[in-house]
Amino acid sequence: MKFLDQAKIFIKAGKGGDGSASFRREKYIEFGGPDGGDGGNGGSIIFEAERNLNTLIDYRYTQHFKAKNGISGSKRKKTGANGKDLILKIPVGTQILEEDNNTIIYDFTKNKEKFLVANGGKGGLGNVRFKSSTNRAPRKKTDGKIGESFWIWLQLKVIADVGIVGMPNAGKSSLLAALTRAKPKIANYPFTTLNPNLGVSYFNNKEVILADIPGLVEGAHKGVGLGDKFLRHVERCKVLLHLIDITEKNLLENYKKISHELFSYNKNLLKKKEIIIFNKSDMLDKKQYKEKEIYLKNKIGKKFEIISVFNKKDLSKIQKVLIQNVAK
Protein backbone atom coordinates (compact mmCIF):
# COMPACT_ATOMS: atom_id res chain seq x y z
CA MET A 1 0.00 0.00 0.00
CA LYS A 2 1.31 3.44 -0.93
CA PHE A 3 2.10 5.86 1.86
CA LEU A 4 0.46 9.28 1.93
CA ASP A 5 0.72 11.55 4.96
CA GLN A 6 -1.19 14.63 3.77
CA ALA A 7 -4.43 15.17 1.86
CA LYS A 8 -6.84 18.04 1.18
CA ILE A 9 -10.52 17.09 1.03
CA PHE A 10 -13.94 18.76 0.81
CA ILE A 11 -16.60 17.63 3.27
CA LYS A 12 -20.31 18.43 3.15
CA ALA A 13 -22.83 17.45 5.82
CA GLY A 14 -26.36 16.55 4.75
CA LYS A 15 -29.18 19.06 4.36
CA GLY A 16 -32.13 18.78 6.73
CA GLY A 17 -35.39 17.52 5.28
CA ASP A 18 -38.18 20.07 4.65
CA GLY A 19 -41.21 20.28 6.89
CA SER A 20 -44.58 19.28 5.43
CA ALA A 21 -47.65 21.52 5.00
CA SER A 22 -50.35 18.85 5.03
CA PHE A 23 -53.95 18.63 6.26
CA ARG A 24 -55.99 15.67 7.40
CA ARG A 25 -58.28 14.34 4.72
CA GLU A 26 -60.41 11.56 6.14
CA LYS A 27 -63.94 10.45 5.51
CA TYR A 28 -66.52 11.93 7.88
CA ILE A 29 -63.92 14.33 9.37
CA GLU A 30 -64.62 17.86 8.26
CA PHE A 31 -61.95 20.55 8.57
CA GLY A 32 -59.32 18.00 9.46
CA GLY A 33 -56.62 20.44 10.56
CA PRO A 34 -52.85 20.39 10.00
CA ASP A 35 -50.89 17.15 10.17
CA GLY A 36 -47.61 17.93 8.36
CA GLY A 37 -44.60 16.32 10.00
CA ASP A 38 -41.09 17.65 10.56
CA GLY A 39 -38.15 16.93 8.27
CA GLY A 40 -35.31 14.70 9.43
CA ASN A 41 -31.90 16.08 10.32
CA GLY A 42 -29.11 15.87 7.75
CA GLY A 43 -26.29 13.44 8.33
CA SER A 44 -23.10 14.69 9.98
CA ILE A 45 -19.51 13.87 9.03
CA ILE A 46 -17.52 12.06 11.69
CA PHE A 47 -13.87 10.98 11.64
CA GLU A 48 -12.75 7.86 13.50
CA ALA A 49 -9.16 6.88 14.24
CA GLU A 50 -8.24 3.33 13.28
CA ARG A 51 -5.08 1.67 14.59
CA ASN A 52 -4.80 -0.71 11.63
CA LEU A 53 -4.45 2.13 9.12
CA ASN A 54 -1.09 3.79 8.44
CA THR A 55 -1.69 5.93 5.36
CA LEU A 56 -4.10 8.55 3.99
CA ILE A 57 -3.97 7.07 0.48
CA ASP A 58 -7.78 6.60 0.45
CA TYR A 59 -8.14 10.38 0.36
CA ARG A 60 -5.85 10.96 -2.61
CA TYR A 61 -8.20 10.04 -5.44
CA THR A 62 -11.51 10.75 -3.72
CA GLN A 63 -11.56 14.29 -2.40
CA HIS A 64 -15.26 15.09 -1.97
CA PHE A 65 -17.27 13.49 0.82
CA LYS A 66 -20.96 14.11 1.44
CA ALA A 67 -23.28 12.81 4.15
CA LYS A 68 -26.90 11.86 3.38
CA ASN A 69 -29.68 14.46 3.41
CA GLY A 70 -32.59 14.22 5.83
CA ILE A 71 -35.95 13.07 4.44
CA SER A 72 -38.79 15.58 4.25
CA GLY A 73 -41.74 15.26 6.64
CA SER A 74 -45.07 13.92 5.39
CA LYS A 75 -48.76 13.79 6.26
CA ARG A 76 -50.15 12.18 9.40
CA LYS A 77 -47.47 13.96 11.43
CA LYS A 78 -44.77 11.65 10.12
CA THR A 79 -41.27 12.91 10.74
CA GLY A 80 -38.79 12.28 7.95
CA ALA A 81 -35.87 9.95 8.60
CA ASN A 82 -32.55 11.48 9.61
CA GLY A 83 -29.78 11.38 7.02
CA LYS A 84 -27.14 8.75 7.74
CA ASP A 85 -23.91 10.07 9.27
CA LEU A 86 -20.79 9.57 7.17
CA ILE A 87 -17.96 8.02 9.20
CA LEU A 88 -14.51 8.42 7.67
CA LYS A 89 -11.68 6.20 8.93
CA ILE A 90 -8.20 7.68 9.39
CA PRO A 91 -4.95 6.42 10.98
CA VAL A 92 -4.19 7.14 14.62
CA GLY A 93 -1.90 10.17 14.65
CA THR A 94 -3.88 12.13 12.07
CA GLN A 95 -4.56 15.82 12.57
CA ILE A 96 -7.48 17.69 11.00
CA LEU A 97 -6.55 21.22 9.98
CA GLU A 98 -8.49 24.13 8.52
CA GLU A 99 -8.06 25.11 4.87
CA ASP A 100 -5.07 27.28 5.79
CA ASN A 101 -3.22 24.03 6.61
CA ASN A 102 -2.08 25.59 9.87
CA THR A 103 -4.98 25.81 12.34
CA ILE A 104 -5.58 22.45 14.04
CA ILE A 105 -9.23 21.42 14.43
CA TYR A 106 -8.57 18.08 16.09
CA ASP A 107 -5.69 15.69 16.81
CA PHE A 108 -6.34 11.92 16.95
CA THR A 109 -4.02 10.07 19.32
CA LYS A 110 -6.12 7.05 20.41
CA ASN A 111 -7.62 4.06 18.64
CA LYS A 112 -11.39 4.34 17.93
CA GLU A 113 -11.36 8.03 18.90
CA LYS A 114 -14.19 9.92 17.16
CA PHE A 115 -14.75 13.57 16.33
CA LEU A 116 -17.71 15.23 14.63
CA VAL A 117 -16.29 17.71 12.11
CA ALA A 118 -19.32 18.92 10.13
CA ASN A 119 -22.85 19.10 11.55
CA GLY A 120 -25.82 18.09 9.45
CA GLY A 121 -28.57 20.65 8.88
CA LYS A 122 -31.61 20.68 11.16
CA GLY A 123 -34.85 19.36 9.73
CA GLY A 124 -37.59 21.84 8.89
CA LEU A 125 -40.83 22.14 10.90
CA GLY A 126 -44.17 20.83 9.65
CA ASN A 127 -47.29 23.00 9.72
CA VAL A 128 -48.66 21.11 12.73
CA ARG A 129 -46.02 22.99 14.77
CA PHE A 130 -47.66 26.33 13.95
CA LYS A 131 -51.19 25.46 15.00
CA SER A 132 -52.55 27.77 17.67
CA SER A 133 -55.86 28.93 19.17
CA THR A 134 -55.94 31.81 16.72
CA ASN A 135 -54.63 29.93 13.68
CA ARG A 136 -56.34 26.56 13.39
CA ALA A 137 -55.20 25.84 9.84
CA PRO A 138 -51.64 27.14 9.39
CA ARG A 139 -50.05 26.65 6.00
CA LYS A 140 -46.67 27.70 7.26
CA LYS A 141 -43.83 25.22 7.30
CA THR A 142 -40.02 25.62 7.23
CA ASP A 143 -37.36 24.17 5.00
CA GLY A 144 -34.46 22.15 6.29
CA LYS A 145 -31.17 23.88 7.03
CA ILE A 146 -28.08 23.42 4.90
CA GLY A 147 -25.36 21.23 6.44
CA GLU A 148 -21.86 22.56 7.12
CA SER A 149 -19.39 22.28 4.24
CA PHE A 150 -15.74 23.30 3.86
CA TRP A 151 -12.27 22.21 2.78
CA ILE A 152 -9.94 20.65 5.35
CA TRP A 153 -6.45 19.16 5.43
CA LEU A 154 -5.64 15.75 6.87
CA GLN A 155 -2.07 15.42 8.11
CA LEU A 156 -0.62 12.20 9.48
CA LYS A 157 2.14 12.16 12.07
CA VAL A 158 3.28 8.60 12.72
CA ILE A 159 3.01 7.57 16.37
CA ALA A 160 5.87 5.36 17.55
CA ASP A 161 7.82 4.74 20.75
CA VAL A 162 11.16 5.08 18.97
CA GLY A 163 12.04 7.10 15.88
CA ILE A 164 15.16 5.92 14.05
CA VAL A 165 16.94 8.93 12.52
CA GLY A 166 20.23 9.38 10.74
CA MET A 167 21.93 10.18 7.46
CA PRO A 168 20.93 8.25 4.33
CA ASN A 169 22.44 4.77 4.11
CA ALA A 170 23.21 4.55 7.84
CA GLY A 171 21.38 1.21 8.08
CA LYS A 172 18.07 2.38 9.59
CA SER A 173 15.94 0.04 7.47
CA SER A 174 18.28 -2.88 8.19
CA LEU A 175 18.02 -2.21 11.94
CA LEU A 176 14.23 -2.01 11.75
CA ALA A 177 14.07 -5.27 9.82
CA ALA A 178 16.42 -6.98 12.27
CA LEU A 179 14.54 -5.85 15.38
CA THR A 180 11.01 -6.34 14.03
CA ARG A 181 9.04 -8.25 11.43
CA ALA A 182 8.83 -5.22 9.18
CA LYS A 183 10.09 -5.65 5.62
CA PRO A 184 11.37 -2.27 4.45
CA LYS A 185 13.24 -1.86 1.18
CA ILE A 186 16.97 -2.26 1.82
CA ALA A 187 19.80 -1.42 -0.58
CA ASN A 188 23.28 0.05 -0.46
CA TYR A 189 22.48 3.55 -1.75
CA PRO A 190 21.06 6.74 -0.24
CA PHE A 191 17.31 7.36 0.02
CA THR A 192 16.29 3.71 -0.23
CA THR A 193 13.52 4.56 2.20
CA LEU A 194 11.09 7.07 0.72
CA ASN A 195 8.37 6.60 3.35
CA PRO A 196 8.36 6.04 7.13
CA ASN A 197 8.24 2.33 7.97
CA LEU A 198 6.76 0.97 11.19
CA GLY A 199 7.66 -2.20 13.04
CA VAL A 200 7.03 -3.77 16.43
CA SER A 201 9.81 -5.30 18.51
CA TYR A 202 9.03 -7.80 21.31
CA PHE A 203 11.42 -8.46 24.17
CA ASN A 204 10.51 -10.18 27.47
CA ASN A 205 6.79 -9.81 26.66
CA LYS A 206 7.17 -6.07 26.20
CA GLU A 207 6.29 -4.23 23.01
CA VAL A 208 8.15 -1.32 21.38
CA ILE A 209 6.92 0.38 18.20
CA LEU A 210 9.75 1.65 15.98
CA ALA A 211 9.58 4.03 13.03
CA ASP A 212 12.29 4.19 10.39
CA ILE A 213 12.31 7.86 9.36
CA PRO A 214 13.67 8.47 5.81
CA GLY A 215 17.26 9.74 5.70
CA LEU A 216 17.84 13.35 6.60
CA VAL A 217 20.52 15.52 5.05
CA GLU A 218 21.96 18.92 5.81
CA GLY A 219 19.32 21.56 5.08
CA ALA A 220 16.40 19.13 5.40
CA HIS A 221 14.40 21.59 7.52
CA LYS A 222 14.53 23.96 4.52
CA GLY A 223 13.44 21.30 2.03
CA VAL A 224 16.81 19.94 0.88
CA GLY A 225 16.96 16.24 -0.12
CA LEU A 226 13.71 14.64 0.94
CA GLY A 227 13.16 17.91 2.79
CA ASP A 228 11.16 18.35 5.98
CA LYS A 229 8.40 16.14 4.58
CA PHE A 230 9.12 13.45 7.15
CA LEU A 231 10.43 15.49 10.08
CA ARG A 232 6.87 15.80 11.41
CA HIS A 233 6.87 12.05 12.06
CA VAL A 234 9.68 12.46 14.60
CA GLU A 235 7.54 14.76 16.77
CA ARG A 236 5.34 11.92 18.09
CA CYS A 237 8.18 9.58 19.09
CA LYS A 238 9.04 9.16 22.77
CA VAL A 239 12.69 8.32 22.08
CA LEU A 240 15.03 9.18 19.21
CA LEU A 241 17.47 6.47 18.13
CA HIS A 242 20.29 8.21 16.30
CA LEU A 243 21.98 5.73 13.96
CA ILE A 244 25.38 6.57 12.50
CA ASP A 245 27.55 4.66 10.03
CA ILE A 246 30.80 4.02 11.94
CA THR A 247 32.73 3.61 8.69
CA GLU A 248 32.15 7.27 7.78
CA LYS A 249 35.14 9.61 8.07
CA ASN A 250 33.24 12.50 9.67
CA LEU A 251 31.45 10.67 12.48
CA LEU A 252 30.87 13.62 14.79
CA GLU A 253 30.11 15.97 11.91
CA ASN A 254 27.30 13.74 10.65
CA TYR A 255 25.88 13.42 14.16
CA LYS A 256 25.93 17.19 14.64
CA LYS A 257 24.33 17.81 11.25
CA ILE A 258 21.30 15.64 12.05
CA SER A 259 20.99 17.15 15.54
CA HIS A 260 21.03 20.60 13.95
CA GLU A 261 18.27 19.65 11.48
CA LEU A 262 16.08 18.35 14.31
CA PHE A 263 16.68 21.47 16.39
CA SER A 264 16.03 23.78 13.42
CA TYR A 265 12.71 22.05 12.71
CA ASN A 266 11.51 21.93 16.31
CA LYS A 267 13.60 22.91 19.34
CA ASN A 268 11.66 20.50 21.56
CA LEU A 269 12.98 17.49 19.62
CA LEU A 270 16.36 17.75 21.33
CA LYS A 271 14.61 17.46 24.71
CA LYS A 272 13.57 13.91 23.88
CA LYS A 273 15.52 10.91 25.14
CA GLU A 274 18.29 9.98 22.75
CA ILE A 275 19.97 6.67 22.05
CA ILE A 276 23.19 6.97 20.01
CA ILE A 277 24.21 3.89 18.04
CA PHE A 278 27.14 3.46 15.69
CA ASN A 279 26.33 0.78 13.12
CA LYS A 280 28.31 -1.45 10.70
CA SER A 281 30.97 -2.55 13.19
CA ASP A 282 31.24 -5.77 11.15
CA MET A 283 33.08 -3.75 8.49
CA LEU A 284 35.93 -2.90 10.88
CA ASP A 285 38.85 -5.07 11.91
CA LYS A 286 39.84 -5.27 15.59
CA LYS A 287 42.36 -2.46 15.37
CA GLN A 288 39.96 -0.09 13.58
CA TYR A 289 37.20 -0.96 16.04
CA LYS A 290 39.40 -0.12 19.04
CA GLU A 291 40.59 3.15 17.48
CA LYS A 292 37.02 4.25 16.70
CA GLU A 293 35.81 3.31 20.19
CA ILE A 294 38.59 5.33 21.91
CA TYR A 295 38.02 8.29 19.61
CA LEU A 296 34.26 8.35 20.29
CA LYS A 297 34.70 8.04 24.05
CA ASN A 298 36.98 11.05 24.02
CA LYS A 299 34.92 13.18 21.63
CA ILE A 300 31.21 12.45 21.87
CA GLY A 301 30.69 13.03 25.60
CA LYS A 302 27.55 10.89 25.69
CA LYS A 303 26.73 7.25 26.18
CA PHE A 304 26.67 5.26 22.93
CA GLU A 305 26.66 1.72 21.56
CA ILE A 306 28.64 0.19 18.71
CA ILE A 307 26.81 -2.61 16.91
CA SER A 308 26.28 -4.62 13.77
CA VAL A 309 22.71 -5.38 12.72
CA PHE A 310 23.95 -8.84 11.74
CA ASN A 311 25.10 -9.67 15.28
CA LYS A 312 22.36 -11.26 17.42
CA LYS A 313 24.07 -10.31 20.71
CA ASP A 314 24.19 -6.67 19.61
CA LEU A 315 20.50 -6.76 18.68
CA SER A 316 19.54 -8.24 22.07
CA LYS A 317 21.56 -5.48 23.76
CA ILE A 318 19.76 -2.80 21.73
CA GLN A 319 16.36 -4.32 22.53
CA LYS A 320 17.15 -4.06 26.25
CA VAL A 321 18.22 -0.43 25.85
CA LEU A 322 15.01 0.36 23.95
CA ILE A 323 12.79 -1.26 26.59
CA GLN A 324 14.60 0.61 29.38
CA ASN A 325 14.20 3.99 27.71
CA VAL A 326 10.62 3.56 26.53
CA ALA A 327 9.44 2.23 29.91
CA LYS A 328 10.85 5.22 31.82
| C-alpha pair distances (Å), 216 with each of 165, 226, 253, 277 | 7, 7, 14, 16
pLDDT at 29: 62
Average pLDDT over residues 184-194: 44
The string of pLDDT tens digits covering residues 152-166 is 999 988 778 888 888
Instruction: Please state, in angstroms and rounded to a whole number, the distance separating the CA atoms of residues 171 and 230.
Output: 17
Residue 220: other Cβ atoms inside 10 A: 24
The string of pLDDT tens digits covering residues 45-64 is 999 999 888 788 889 889 99
The string of pLDDT tens digits covering residues 234-260 is 788 889 999 989 988 888 887 888 888
Helix (H, G, I), strand (E, B) or coil at 260: helix
Residue 179: other Cβ atoms inside 10 A: 24
Average pLDDT over residues 72-96: 93
Task: Identify the helix (H) or strand (E) that includes residue 202.
Answer: strand 197-203
pLDDT at 238: 87
One-letter amino acid for residue 289 of the chain: Y
The yes-or-no verdict on residue 226 having pLDDT over 60 is no
pLDDT at 221: 41
Where do the domains of the chain lie, and which CATH numbers do they carry? 1-156 (2.70.210.12), 162-327 (3.40.50.300)
Rounded (10°) angle between helices 286-299 and 251-265: 50
Q: Identify the bridge partners of residue 118 per DSSP, sorted by sequence position.
A: 45
Strands 94-97 and 104-107: antiparallel
